[in-house]
Chains A and B, each alone.
Chain A
């Protein structure tokens, strides 16, 4: 049996979420036709501001995942490599670079392709490459770019709540972003609309927190395949009523399943955590343990986490950025993984190790060391790539997964 396939989902809402992905690309194409501005954004831009300004957002990183899931990402990667972009570079960046500058590679790209941007916005967070990538696109397409210059989030991990000078830089850059958008779109920023959108964003975040809590239930009411299928509204639609409504429905569905003890498999025997970026061209891997009664029931990253709130909207946005657990410092990631393992009663952890991504992965070995050494949790480091399927070895992945699942079953006395 090949492990290369799409995931199977258990929640109706998770299946429904894909419509938002398709709508996002279609909306941007429509905006172009109607003469409304389209912005390419990196994750981390305060979306309330973008929606307030009537700008249609596109997320090239997400397009990297979509092309991978549709099994065409590697074709674009190859085209980018022909232009001199090294194969070691981020496969999302290679995918989108290939797609943007070599559309001939695939004349009918997923969701009609990325509409051309009128502007680019990149926060200087998560990794340096995101800035370099957008700088390159801005230069090659000759469109304006705005960098949101942010402090390193790692720094705040040590001090808890961010100090004033960190907040000051965040607020100053956020206000400069608004000014940039006003200038680029020739439209005035509507503060009242922004406050409404911020409220919706926080509502959606709160719902996601409730979902996170509800997922502690045994048997797991929601699996990782449902989770990864449904992160799109949370990552790209914060500040819209649709995202709130979506997560309300999802929470209700999860609660109902929990109340009725409906799990992912008929009889849940062991619980796993997925750490790292999923392998987007093979999300079926998230269901792989299910025939043995194993459920991938929590993900180590991509979570909204509890944080401080502020009445001041700009400080509130800053708190969201500086949230302690969102830091990609090594200690914060280790602590987070330990918390998840304990509170979700995890028996084993699969750590994806994607070759073309560094900052998101540099702490993976230490996460494994701490989980194994301190908590005695078996861990599997699964080497592949997030979007470039040429880096995937079917035989190796199956062998390693099988051996790992065997260890867990023995440890649980299931074998």
Chain B
């Protein structure tokens, strides 16, 4: 598939492409670690939101600043940051996606060249008081972006951006729905590849790019191996090496509850509400991340997504030192199991060698499901 090939190249050369895009007058670039950042606002300021993601085995230079008992995923992102990979960023927006991520506000501010950093204080608890609070946070985020870009964000530009993101979410859902077909024309690694590539593009182009992939997939003849349909939950790590590893072990990842995946497109922003209010409401009341309380809606979402995408099993990668998911694990594993689905937790230290350690478990898990078919 041409779009897939293009996506791989885009990811491979992402830093160079983004620098060039800026040089050609593309606009400002704003980094983010977390998909609970209202990207609509960044886009409305004319800037490009870029998702920062870690690479396995990359931790050079980090030990001087971060202890070994910190999330290897964030350590890996930070390694890229201090190496200068993201020097083209005009700003970085940090949420409290977890305790470690929130501190990246300080660490990136102190140790990288990113000039402006905004801490988007996402409430921990969902209620009316938090909504009022978060509305103000988003208003301040708007002012921050206006000062970074020099562009005034109007109600009209924000509404337009919201519509564009909702359109993208619909296309992404259609891309995910490809894996509800039989046979499945694409797998999870391919889907994640185009998704990660789309996150390097302005939203209109991103939507068109996913559209290309969707069209090509519709007439694809060289189907991927039809592995055992598996859903992925656990630490929010949208990592190609991890997905590839699971699919090489006999799975076909049919869906996930990751913040870049099903939790990203499940609920749109209300286009009929005043744009700032709509953004605050949608992001705060979206299917919660593991660090938000209460958790019930997230648990329900995991089971719902597994059923909708006809997963026959669930794999739960938990990255080392990921407190939120680790504490959830005993309960969530039980809950998934009680819903009738086999589930396997795997520990991920964010190295390829570490994945090899768990390969026998993953292969056995998948084989057992395949035999039960």
| Residues from 126 to 163 in A contacting B, C-beta threshold 8 Å | 127-129, 131-133, 135-136, 139, 147, 149-152, 154-155, 158
Known: A154-B102, A169-B129, A331-B110. A129 touches B327 (CB 8 A): yes
One digit per residue, 1 when the CB lies within 8 angstroms of any chain A CB and 0 when it does not, for chain B 270-305 equals 000000000000000000001101110000000000
A128 with B99, Cβ < 8 A, contacts A88-B320, A139-B331 known: yes
Q: Are B323 and A124 in contact, CB atoms less than 8 angstroms apart? A: no
Does A189 make an interface contact (CB < 8 A)?
no
With the chains together, A353 CA to B69 CA distance in Å?
Answer: 9
* Chain B binder among A44-52, A62-70, A71-79, A363-371: A363-371
Contact B67 A364 (CB under 8 A): yes
Q: Quick check: is B105 within 8 A (CB to CB) of the other chain?
A: yes
Q: Does B130 contact A (CB under 8 A)?
A: yes
Q: Contacting B67 at CB < 8 Å: which of A89, A165, A173, A361?
A: A361
Is A358 part of the binding interface, using a Cβ–Cβ cutoff of 8 Å? yes
Q: Quick one: which of B119, B124, B125 contacts A154, CB cutoff 8 A?
A: B119
With A89-B323, A366-B107 already in contact, 19 other A-B pairs whose C-beta atoms are closer than 8 Å? A124-B124, A124-B293, A128-B98, A135-B294, A151-B133, A152-B119, A152-B121, A154-B102, A155-B121, A165-B137, A168-B132, A169-B132, A173-B125, A330-B103, A330-B110, A358-B69, A361-B69, A362-B70, A369-B64
Distance in Å from the Cβ of A186 to the closest Cβ of chain B? 23
CA distance A328 to B153 in the complex (A): 33
The closest CB in chain B to the CB of A133 belongs to B327
When distances are taken between beta carbons in the complex, the residues of chain B under 8 Å from A364 are 67
Count residues of chain A with CB under 8 A from any CB of chain B. Answer: 49
* A329 at interface by CB-CB < 8 Å: yes
Q: How far in angstroms is the closest Cβ of chain A from B358?
A: 14
Judge whether A132 and B121 touch: CB under 8 Å: no
CA distance A356 to B68 in the complex (A): 11
Q: Determine how close the nearest CB of chain A comes to the CB of B33; give it in whole angstroms.
A: 15
B296 to chain A, nearest CB (A): 10
Does chain A have a CB within 8 A of B201? Answer: no
A86: Cβ under 8 A from any B Cβ? yes
A289-325 interface bits toward B, Cβ cutoff 8 Å, 1 = contact, 0 = none = 0000000000000000000000000000000000000
* Bitwise interface map of B from 62 to 91 toward A, beta carbon under 8 Å scored 1, else 0: 011111011100000000000000000000
A84 at the interface (CB under 8 A from B): yes
B205 interfacial by beta-carbon distance below 8 Å: no
Q: Is B100 touching A89 in the complex (CB atoms < 8 A)?
A: no
Q: Which residue of B lies closest to A126 (CB)?
A: B99
Say if the beta carbon of B9 comes within 8 Å of chain A: no
Q: Is the CB of B103 within 8 A of A363?
A: yes
Q: Is the CB of B133 within 8 A of A168?
A: yes
List residues of B whose CB falls within 8 A of some A CB. Answer: 63-67, 69-71, 96, 98-100, 102-103, 105-107, 110, 119, 121, 123-125, 127, 129-130, 132-133, 136-137, 290-291, 293-295, 318, 320-321, 323-324, 326-331, 333
In this complex, the member of B71, B99, B324 whose beta carbon has the largest number of chain A beta carbons within 10 angstroms is B99
CA distance A329 to B96 in the complex (A): 12
- Over the window 83-125 of chain A, the binary record of Cβ atoms lying under 8 Å from chain B Cβ atoms (1 yes, 0 no) is 1111011100100000000000000000000000000000010
Counting chain B CB atoms within 10 Å of each CB, which of A84, A132, A172, A359 scores highest?
A132
Q: Report chain B residues within 8 Å CB of A133.
A: 327
Q: Write out the residue numbers on chain A whose beta carbons fall within 8 Å of the beta carbon of B294.
A: 135, 147
In the bound complex, how far is the Cα of B292 from the Cα of A135, in angstroms? 11
A370 to chain B, nearest CB (A): 10
CA distance A128 to B324 in the complex (A): 7
Docked Cα-Cα span, A90 to B321, in Å, equals: 10
Q: Are B328 and A362 neighbours in the complex by a CB distance under 8 Å?
A: no
* With contact pairs A128-B323, A151-B121 given, residues A366 and B67 touching in the complex (Cβ less than 8 Å): no
CB distance from B6 to the nearest CB of A (A): 38
23 contacts between A and B (CB under 8 A): A84-B330, A85-B330, A124-B124, A129-B324, A131-B124, A131-B291, A132-B328, A147-B293, A147-B294, A152-B119, A152-B121, A154-B105, A166-B133, A168-B133, A169-B132, A173-B129, A330-B106, A357-B69, A358-B70, A359-B103, A363-B103, A363-B106, A366-B110
Are A149 and B121 also in contact (CB < 8 A) when A165-B133, A330-B106 are? Answer: no
- The 8 lowest CB-CB distance pairs between A and B, nearest first, are A149-B125, A124-B124, A330-B106, A132-B327, A84-B330, A359-B99, A172-B129, A165-B136
Q: How far is the CB of B73 from chain A (nearest CB, A)?
A: 13
B125 contacts which of A89, A93, A124, A356 (Cβ < 8 Å)?
A124
> Which residues of the other chain, A, contact B123 by a CB distance below 8 angstroms?
149, 151, 169
With contacts A149-B130, A365-B65, A369-B65 taken as known, whether A358 is within 8 angstroms of B100 at the C-beta atoms is yes
Interface membership of A355, Cβ < 8 A = yes
For B119, list chain A residues within 8 Å (CB). 152, 154-155, 158
Chain B residue contacts of A93, Cβ below 8 A: 327
- Residues of B within 8 Å of A86, CB to CB, are 318, 326, 329
Residues on A with C-beta less than 8 A from B293 are: 124, 131, 135, 147
B101 to chain A, nearest CB (A): 10
A139 to B328, CA, bound (A): 12
In the complex the two chains form, is B124's CB within 8 Å of A353's CB?
no
CB distance from B63 to the nearest CB of A (A): 8
Whether the Cβ atoms of B329 and A84 lie closer than 8 Å is: yes
Other-chain residue from B96, B129, B130, B136 in contact with A152 (beta carbon distance below 8 A): B96
Contacts of B100 on A, CB cut-off 8 Å?
A: 358-359, 362
Are B99 and A362 in contact (CB-based, < 8 A)? yes
A176 within 8 Å of B by Cβ? yes
Q: How far is the CB of B324 from chain A (nearest CB, A)?
A: 5
